[in-house]
A and B are shown apart, each in its own frame.
Chain A
Amino acid sequence: MDTMTEFREVADQPYGYLQKLKDQTGKKMVGYVCSYTPEEILLAAGAHPVRLFGTKQQIHLADSHLQSYSCSIVRGVLEEGLSGRIGFLDGMVFPHTCDSIQRLSDIWRLNIPFGFHSDLVLPVKLNTPSARDYMTDVLRKFQNDVGRALGVDITDDALQKAIGTMNAIRQSIRDIYEIRSQYPRLMSGADLYTLVRASMMMDRERLAGMLSETVVKMKAKAAGEKPDPSLKRIVLAGGMCNHPDIYPMIEEAGGAVVWDDFCTGARYFAELVAGGDDPAAGIAERLIRRVVCPAKHAGLDRRAKHILRLVKEQNARGVIFLLFKFCDPHAFDYPDIRKSMDEAGIPVLLLEMEDPLPGEGQLKTRFEAFLEMV
């Protein structure tokens, strides 16, 4: 099967895929909700990490636990848990991020009794020596907790191997992003979206192989390509995107998404774990150096600077912010980042995403108007 077809199948029917994977390998399935989750530790425990994104279904059950002012991710994840649709999971990890996820963890623990439940209470500030030590301490504790819960002894060797796998995956996705940034027509935005989503669900060993194969193929294709200066290069920013349809809309309007600042995108593969004989410290170091999420503090202007740098490096003509309604960390950052963009003369479009999105016609018009302007 063509690799892209396989990615598509996983992204379309993730639960079917995961159930099959579980039946075939006997691996413990562990769900998680945030890109600060150290997948390496789960892999080293012989478990399979699964990122949850929300739901495509109507919200019924979550309504009796969450008020209307919680974001669609939190509601969607809880709905999936309560409905039993992800009953194949053996456990959940809740890294400390925003206030809503924090309460989601409590609500989950009290209402969805399966497997092990881990609160990975990471530091909120990342730029002090004590926060760095605490990050390492907490990862070591997590390593012990996971080991105990799954009945395995997580050795440093296993951890080193998992670090190798995850580094290879991150490097490949970065390579794909980079080639695609040069020649956006080599892979549609929707395909890139699909590939990254599938990456957070697939068997990581197999994934690593498929991704490096994809890189080789893309490199070969790229050899005959010429850059297309007519494309309007765009960067997407925000929490994540749950609506792949926006990629073709942007493309039809003459744009090309060349990079992003999403936790299910570039923040996922940002930075590799450096080698060294203390794997937990290495993982901690990566999480600290990584592009920061607005729920964490690494200085006052890190995100604005990062997005400015992205625009410059990627030679982009504008930034589209996709912000979830009720997402506090991103909403607090937006006005200041917006100001930095305005000062640098970079056009910005803000799309507040409610579930469901505004009609396709309306969205298309907004993208067209924006792309005309950039």
Chain B
Amino acid sequence: MSEAKSEKEKRKIQSEKKMRDIMTAYYIDAKTARQNNKKVAWITSGGPVEPLIAMDIIPVYPENHGAMIGASKMGVDLCEKAEAMGYSNDLCSYARSDISCATVNGGPIGGLPEPDMLVCCNNICGTVLKWYEVQARYFNIPLFIFDTPFCHTEYTKEAKRYVERQIGEYVAFLEGVCGRKMDQDRMKDVGRISFEGQKLWQEVLDTAVNKPSPMTAFDAFFHLALIVTLRGTQQTIDYYQGLLAEMKDRIRDGIGAIAQEKYRLLWDNLPIWYRMKWLSKKFAEHDACLVADTYTSAWCGAMKYIDENKFLDSMAEAYSRIYLNIGVDEMARMVIAMIDKYQVDGFVLHSNRSCKPYSLGQFDIQRIVEKERNIPCLMIEADMVDERSFSESQISTRIDAFMEIIKDRKKGRA
């Protein structure tokens, strides 16, 4: 008994507490912004946050809030409230829960701080455009749309010109709302810090290459919060340096994320926030570790386009070419690169009815993966926040069957 407990203790990531403290302080800061004469901007998860940090505006992420709502299992109630307001239950559950939450100040932290402005970047989906329109009407505040043309097969020179021009418009928008100029030197610093943070986050994720992996994708979903919400701050760098060191220690000491890692899996799409524990236990029981995922790497996947010394100019391309703003075939290529890099035995796809840009095309990605790498794939139908779309018994059976195939294959190969 006590041994089992210390086993678990050993595997617990120590940085977790620090993370919770940082996030709590961040939300307190955001909630008391008014008293401190600071402005709050709501921004989409893939949006260019660095100019906000440089302008001392507190960025708040409704999607991160959505994740918290999902994880605290308050999603169904808020989604139902949105449905009562007339929003179809087929819409993204982040959007649904945020829209209703704004009107009732519900959810795990009593609602988000009221925004002074909205910044919507459509590089993740068209849903955010509609969602932010709804909120701009509700709060009656200015909305900036950062329009990043979709890169099906290329980032055209026409798109480049358009996105680059919008950077100037974006800065002018922020200066207008705040009534003061942006400090260009500060912006440069923030750009470098953001780049540094992304690099560190990638290094953290890279530690999962080790066998056994020191962390799982479930850990990554948790530790992701900072690179999303506080990208461009020194805090992020300090935190990820600590986390990276901890991961390296674990590798040195041979501590794996799960008790016995026999099989390694790759996860696709958003987490199923309200079933994280259940899913990680379920896979661990099969000695399977989800070592990597396509979601958390989206916040460092476009680094190759960034010039850290000319952040503002180069961010146009980086923000246009993130994982969700590219064609299905390029996504498949990135998935295959991850399969090779992390040496996984199987691929689990969460078909997420909330998120069409992430999910439509998954069947084709699956086919490409099966053809090119010949590894077993499992598609799970669910939703990231709305538990009504989750059938535990069905998914449990399917995971068992999938793991049987993987085990047989591995046996055959060994």
Interface residues of A (CB under 8 A from B): 64-67, 69-70, 74, 96-100, 102-107, 109-111, 119, 121, 123-125, 128, 130-131, 133-134, 137-138, 141, 294-295, 297, 300-301, 323, 325-326, 328-329, 331-336, 338, 352
Task: Report Cα–Cα, A130/B172, bound state, in Å.
Answer: 14
CB-CB under 8 A for A134 and B150, given A70-B356, A99-B356: no
Interface residues of B (CB under 8 A from A): 85-88, 90-92, 95, 122, 125-127, 129-131, 133-134, 136-137, 143, 145, 147, 149-150, 152-153, 156, 158-159, 161-162, 165-166, 169, 327-329, 351, 353, 356-357, 359-364, 381
Set B130, B137, B153, B162: member contacting A130, Cβ < 8 A: B162
Task: Report Cα–Cα, A131/B85, bound state, in Å.
Answer: 33
Measured between C-beta atoms, what is the minimum distance from A34 to chain B in Å? 13
Which residues of B lie under 8 Å from residue A125 when comparing CB positions? Answer: 145, 147
Task: Report Cα–Cα, A335/B134, bound state, in Å.
Answer: 9
Q: Chain A: interface secondary structure?
A: helix
Measured between C-beta atoms, what is the minimum distance from A113 to chain B in Å? 13
Set B130, B147, B153, B357: member contacting A103, Cβ < 8 A: B357
A141 touches B90 (CB 8 A): no
A134 touches B87 (CB 8 A): no
Task: Report Cα–Cα, A331/B354, bound state, in Å.
Answer: 13
Which residues of A lie under 8 Å from residue B364 when comparing CB positions? Answer: 65, 106-107, 110-111
Task: Report Cα–Cα, A64/B367, bound state, in Å.
Answer: 10
Measured between C-beta atoms, what is the minimum distance from A308 to chain B in Å? 15
CB-CB under 8 A for A99 and B125, given A110-B328, A130-B169: yes
A328 touches B127 (CB 8 A): yes
B126 touches A99 (CB 8 A): yes
Which residues of B lie under 8 Å from residue A141 when comparing CB positions? Answer: 156, 158
B129 touches A297 (CB 8 A): yes
B149 touches A335 (CB 8 A): no
Task: Report Cα–Cα, A70/B328, bound state, in Å.
Answer: 16
Measured between C-beta atoms, what is the minimum distance from B167 to chain A in Å? 10
Task: Report Cα–Cα, A265/B118, bound state, in Å.
Answer: 34
CB-CB under 8 A for A329 and B152, given A131-B147, A336-B137: no
Chain B, Cβ-Cβ closest to A337 = B86
CB-CB under 8 A for A99 and B357, given A69-B90, A106-B329: yes
CB-CB under 8 A for A66 and B126, given A103-B357, A121-B156: no
B356 touches A300 (CB 8 A): no
Task: Report Cα–Cα, A328/B351, bound state, in Å.
Answer: 17
Which residues of A lie under 8 Å from residue B92 when comparing CB positions? Answer: 328
B130 touches A102 (CB 8 A): no
Which residues of A lie under 8 Å from residue B161 when comparing CB positions? Answer: 133-134, 137
3 tightest CB-CB pairs across the interface, nearest first?
Answer: A335-B86, A332-B130, A103-B360
Which residues of A lie under 8 Å from residue B353 when comparing CB positions? Answer: 67, 69
Chain B, Cβ-Cβ closest to A64 = B363
Measured between C-beta atoms, what is the minimum distance from B370 to chain A in Å? 13
Which residues of B lie under 8 Å from residue A99 when comparing CB positions? Answer: 125-127, 356-357, 360
Task: Report Cα–Cα, A65/B379, bound state, in Å.
Answer: 13
Which residues of B lie under 8 Å from residue A329 when comparing CB positions? Answer: 126, 130
CB-CB under 8 A for A297 and B158, given A96-B150, A336-B137: no
Task: Report Cα–Cα, A294/B359, bound state, in Å.
Answer: 22
